């Protein structure tokens, strides 16, 4: 849904005030994580070491929903799940399955509010949405965005 995409971007920009060199960040992200070779990634690339001064933009959404799987129109593949302290619920790590799209997102529930779900997006999509979500509008109208900064 184009509307949602524009909305998402706007919110992200608003939430991450320091997000000005978006292109640079994107390029670095793509260049760094693009190498899917395991050995290459481990041996050559030091993703965390490279981000010395640069912060990766992360956009956090807090939503009230019974289901933590909020489909925003993109296809996500789960690549990890870890338990966090101060939170008895595990955190799920998702990644966009589009080729060349390294956008990540993690979903975490709040212990206090089981109905509260924090969705943190990392990176920006540079490709059209694959999923035809006409029912997503319905979901959107149901969820409320509280904060966009992290």
Partner DNA sequence: CGTGTTTGACCAGCGC
Partner DNA sequence: GCGCTGGTCAAACACG
Task: Give the nearest distance from C-beta 136 to DNA in angstroms.
Answer: 16
Distance between start and end Cα atoms, the chain: 25
Compare residues 64 and 78 and give the one whose CB is closer to DNA. 78
Angle ∠(130,33,5) on CA atoms, nearest 5? 30
93 is a contact residue toward DNA (CB under 7 A): yes
Compare residues 6 and 31 and give the one whose CB is closer to DNA. 31
Q: Which region among 1-9, 17-25, 77-85, 110-118 touches DNA (by CB under 7 A)?
A: 77-85
Closest-CA residue to 2 (of 133, 101, 142): 133
Gap between the Cα atoms of 126 and 102, Å rounded: 10
- Contact with DNA (CB under 7 A) among 53, 85, 88, 138: 85
147 is a contact residue toward DNA (CB under 7 A): no
Gap between the Cα atoms of 128 and 118, Å rounded: 24
- Contact with DNA (CB under 7 A) among 7, 27, 64, 78: 78
Q: Which region among 10-18, 20-28, 38-46, 142-150 touches DNA (by CB under 7 A)?
A: 38-46
53 is a contact residue toward DNA (CB under 7 A): no
Classify residue 60 as exposed, middle or buried by CB count within 10 Å of its CB (0-12, 13-18, 19+): buried
């Amino acid at each position: 849904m184009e509307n949602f995409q524009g909305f998402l971007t706007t919110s992200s920009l608003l939430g991450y005030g320091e997000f000005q060199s978006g292109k640079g960040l994107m390029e670095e992200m793509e260049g760094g994580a693009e190498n899917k070779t395991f050995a290459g990634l481990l041996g050559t690339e030091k993703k965390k070491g490279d981000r010395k001064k640069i912060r990766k933009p992360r956009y956090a959404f807090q939503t009230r929903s019974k289901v933590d799987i909020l489909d925003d129109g993109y296809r996500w593949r789960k690549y990890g799940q870890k338990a966090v302290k101060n939170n008895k619920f595990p955190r799920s790590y998702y990644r966009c399955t589009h080729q060349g799209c390294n956008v990540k997102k993690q979903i975490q529930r709040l212990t206090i509010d089981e109905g509260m779900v924090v969705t943190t997006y990392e990176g920006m999509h540079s490709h059209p949405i694959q999923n035809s979500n006409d029912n997503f509008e319905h979901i959107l109208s149901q969820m409320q965005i509280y904060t966009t900064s992290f």
